[in-house]
Chains A and B, each alone.
Chain A
Amino acid sequence: MTDVLAVADHRRGELRDVSYESITAGRELADETGGDLHIAVISGTVDDFADKLNRDGVDAIHTVSHGEEFNHDIYSQAITQLYDELAPQYVLTPNSVNGLDYAPAIANELDLPVVTDTVDLDNDGETLVATREMYGGKVETTTELEGDAVITIRGAEWPAAEGTGDATIEAFDADIDEDAIGSTVNGFEEVGGGDVDISEADLLVSVGRGIEEEENLDLIRDLADALGATLSSSRPIVDNGWLPKNRQVGQSGKVVTPDVYIAIGISGAVQHVAGMKGSDTIVAINTDPNAPIMDIADYAIVDDLFDVVPELIDEFDG
């Protein structure tokens, strides 16, 4: 039997979507052999979270009431103790920033292999087959392993679990050693405010690594002016300091849903796509016909942006 322990993700009083997605992923793994799906929810308003997590397919929910916000030391201690108690085959966590802050630690502590950022999972009770991307999504790979493991799952790869379940909800009396807590969260800050809110725009002209040099950004600015569009970008442009944080589209930036999104020289890394896939119409201009952005584009121009963009400016300025 394959029992699975999935760990919920929450922040500032809200469960994050991946918590419901990990119920689906965990159920699929447990179903292969008729195992049970356990959910751990740690810190914050755990009773309220437990009610919300009680969806179809969950067998048991274990609440650990300790502190308000995520702390990796509390999570690590609670999860390793739950693992000892429940003896699941797989511990499933989100591949979120917080998931990556404790999943490798519990794997090391429990002496288990860890496989991260999985996009598909399969098992026959003995062998786990995990599908992952490599080289920034250029290839997919399958990795196999036997026995127990810690697995992190990428967000938005599994559908969210729905319905109302009949899970048992129990408080787990974790023995948290306060002396072992080596970090303190002092607060949170929203970043990326400022003069413009790209999530309000109807037309976004968005620029990525393909622009090559900071000086070349003027070309994209001219295009945005000619079209009356708002300028946004992928992460590398902001990392380079060429545009402020409030222009960044993606997982760590803004989520945008314009009528039309023009992606110029953007390859379409998963973190970027997470921020713009809800756009009504997506147009990609890119030299690489196999770039991941093409998978979600409605229209595409496979050509050099430095040839196409000036023509487009002429079209509207001329």
Chain B
Amino acid sequence: MKILVTVKEVATVEDEFEIEGTEIADQYLGADLNEWDDYAIEEAVQLQEDGIADEVVTVTIGPEDCEQTVRQALAKGADRAVRVWDDALEDVDLLDVNAKTEILSAVIEAEDPDLVLSGVQAGDDSFGATGVSVAENLGFQWGAVVNHLEHDLEDGLASVRRELEGGVEELTDIELPAVLTIQTGINEPRYASLRGIRQAQQKPLDVQTLADIGVDESAIETELELTDMYEPESESDATFWEGSPDETASELGELLRDKGVAQ
């Protein structure tokens, strides 16, 4: 069985930052492997270790800068990586769900996996829609917000648990091929070993343009336009206790005694 994992490098933002136009100023931005994708990678690697998957391939949409993040996924155990980038993508402010769907679908069709694992959402733009959109586009089955996957995948079925709200899980069987969007907590993502990091440097990382994967530039024209970005107005009417830790702790102690919840 072949598993494909979508991997995104997300932008991270410092606590204090400034906004320039509709972007956060560069100096306050960092980059990291999307937290949800980390769990998706781990699940795929565990399926390989359990002898269920033969090959784990990652696919990423992103510029050369994000190869360090792709190598992180390879260091954790993925076999090889595909990275799609194109000059036409450089100028796109917001790559919307439909554009991502077109690109990822083209790669998935070429790779022809049995199972695609995708993070529930990305930590930066948080659309939470791409995995399901890709599945529908390809005629794959799907399951959103999966927090448990049985590691047998027999009879062409994936038995999963979907994490609903309020501490309820839905037990569902999904026909393969399928896209599952993976929720945090499904496993405990490993840290890459030094050996893994060394090996990752030698693993294939295939870079493809839109033309290479057969996607027309017009297909990535986004219909959404980001028009404003601002810090939400603080609605805080909290009383801020100030002073040294022993002073603020004593204020809190007094409150707890006043409320009668601690003595």
Q: A and B: real partners? A: yes
Across the interface, do A245 and B236 meet the contact criterion of CB distance under 8 Å? no
Smallest Cβ distance from A186 to chain B, in angstroms? 5
Q: Render A176-202 as a binary contact track against B, CB cut-off 8 A, 1 for contact.
A: 000000111111111110000000001
B residues 127-178 touching A (CB-CB < 8 Å)? 127-133, 135-137, 141-145, 161-175, 178
Smallest Cβ distance from A247 to chain B, in angstroms? 12
Is A171's CB within 8 Å of the partner chain B? no
Name the one of A109, A135, A140, A262 contacting B136, with C-beta atoms under 8 angstroms. Answer: A109
What's the Cα separation between A191 and B49 when bound, in Å? 28
Residues of the B chain whose Cβ atoms lie less than 8 Å from the Cβ of A153: none
Across the interface, do A100 and B128 meet the contact criterion of CB distance under 8 Å? yes
Name the one of B98, B164, B235, B260 contacting A98, with C-beta atoms under 8 angstroms. Answer: B164
What's the Cα separation between A100 and B172 when bound, in Å? 16
Q: Render A94-107 as a binary contact track against B, CB cut-off 8 A, 1 for contact.
A: 01111011111101
Residues of the B chain whose Cβ atoms lie less than 8 Å from the Cβ of A289: 240
With A183-B172, A260-B259 as contacts: A138 and B238 at CB distance below 8 Å:
no
A residues 230-264 touching B (CB-CB < 8 Å)? 235-236, 238-241, 245, 251-255, 258-260, 262
B184 to chain A: closest residue by CB: A239
With A140-B232, A301-B241 as contacts: A96 and B256 at CB distance below 8 Å:
no
With A228-B263, A298-B239 as contacts: A183 and B167 at CB distance below 8 Å:
no
With A101-B144, A141-B229, A183-B173 as contacts: A303 and B248 at CB distance below 8 Å:
yes
Name the one of A11, A116, A192 contacting B127, with C-beta atoms under 8 angstroms. Answer: A116
Across the interface, do A299 and B255 meet the contact criterion of CB distance under 8 Å? yes
Smallest Cβ distance from A190 to chain B, in angstroms? 6
Residues of the B chain whose Cβ atoms lie less than 8 Å from the Cβ of A95: 128
Residues of the A chain whose Cβ atoms lie less than 8 Å from the Cβ of B172: 183-186
With A108-B98, A140-B230, A144-B225 as contacts: A114 and B129 at CB distance below 8 Å:
yes
Is B17's CB within 8 Å of the partner chain A? yes
Smallest Cβ distance from B74 to chain A, in angstroms? 23
Residues of the A chain whose Cβ atoms lie less than 8 Å from the Cβ of B98: 107-108, 113-114
Name the one of A135, A143, A235 contacting B227, with C-beta atoms under 8 angstroms. Answer: A143
With A97-B144, A299-B238 as contacts: A141 and B22 at CB distance below 8 Å:
yes
Across the interface, do B135 and A191 meet the contact criterion of CB distance under 8 Å? no
Residues of the A chain whose Cβ atoms lie less than 8 Å from the Cβ of B101: 108
Smallest Cβ distance from B121 to chain A, in angstroms? 8
Across the interface, do A238 and B132 meet the contact criterion of CB distance under 8 Å? no
Smallest Cβ distance from B148 to chain A, in angstroms? 10
B residues 44-64 touching A (CB-CB < 8 Å)? none
Across the interface, do B167 and A192 meet the contact criterion of CB distance under 8 Å? yes
With A184-B172, A186-B172, A294-B238 as contacts: A303 and B133 at CB distance below 8 Å:
no
Across the interface, do A107 and B133 meet the contact criterion of CB distance under 8 Å? yes
B232 to chain A: closest residue by CB: A140
Is A82's CB within 8 Å of the partner chain B? no
What's the Cα separation between A36 and B168 when bound, in Å? 35
Across the interface, do B143 and A188 meet the contact criterion of CB distance under 8 Å? no
Smallest Cβ distance from A91 to chain B, in angstroms? 13
With A107-B133, A141-B226, A252-B165 as contacts: A260 and B15 at CB distance below 8 Å:
no
B163 to chain A: closest residue by CB: A252
Residues of B at the A interface (CB closer than 8 Å) are 11-13, 15-17, 19, 22, 24, 94, 96-98, 101, 120, 123-133, 135-137, 141-145, 161-175, 178, 181, 184-185, 188, 223-232, 234-236, 238-241, 245-246, 248-253, 255-256, 259-263
Beyond A117-B126, A145-B225, A288-B15: 15 further Cβ-contacts under 8 Å? A144-B227, A183-B173, A183-B174, A189-B168, A227-B261, A227-B262, A239-B185, A241-B188, A251-B166, A252-B163, A297-B238, A301-B241, A301-B248, A304-B245, A316-B253
**CB-defined A-B contacts under 8 Å, sample of 14:** A72-B144, A100-B120, A100-B128, A117-B128, A132-B126, A142-B228, A183-B174, A228-B263, A235-B185, A251-B165, A255-B166, A299-B240, A302-B240, A309-B249
